[in-house]
């Protein structure tokens, strides 16, 4: 139920390319990322992620981790559907 860190593919690839393929996941995991309540409107979370240049937010229900909201830069349809103002 609780989230400690998130391992992103790009970080794994960076570790491999730099000769650190044997590093434990804990050493390349991200621990500093936005957290959103499950009841938060998706458009608000998306705008916040884009403004902060973050690819994802942890989604929680109180103190229980329920998932990730992933909003990559190359997400093409979402921005047209959501006014950024």
Q: What is the pLDDT of residues 2-15, one digit of tens each?
A: 678 888 888 899 99
Burial status of residue 23 (CB atoms within 10 A of its CB: 0-12, 13-18, 19 or more): middle
pLDDT over 70, % of the chain: 82
Query: Model's pTM, two decimal places?
Result: 0.71
| Nearest residue to 74 (alpha-carbon basis) of 55, 51, 57, 58 | 55
Find out whether 28 and 12 touch, Cβ atoms under 8 Å.
yes
Find out whether 68 and 57 touch, Cβ atoms under 8 Å.
yes
Place of tokens 């103190």: 63
**Measured distance CA(55)–CA(33) in Å, rounded:** 9
Q: What is the pLDDT of residues 16-47, one digit of tens each?
A: 999 998 999 899 999 888 999 999 999 899 98
**Measured distance CA(15)–CA(32) in Å, rounded:** 18
């Amino acid at each position: 139920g609780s989230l400690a860190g998130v391992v992103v593919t790009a970080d794994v690839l960076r570790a491999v390319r730099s000769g650190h393929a044997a590093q434990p996941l804990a050493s390349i995991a991200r621990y500093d990322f936005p957290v959103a309540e499950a009841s938060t409107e998706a458009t608000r979370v998306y705008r916040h992620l884009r403004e902060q240049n973050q690819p994802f937010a942890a989604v929680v229900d109180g103190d229980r981790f329920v998932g990730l909201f992933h909003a990559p830069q190359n997400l093409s349809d979402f921005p047209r559907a959501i006014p950024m103002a």
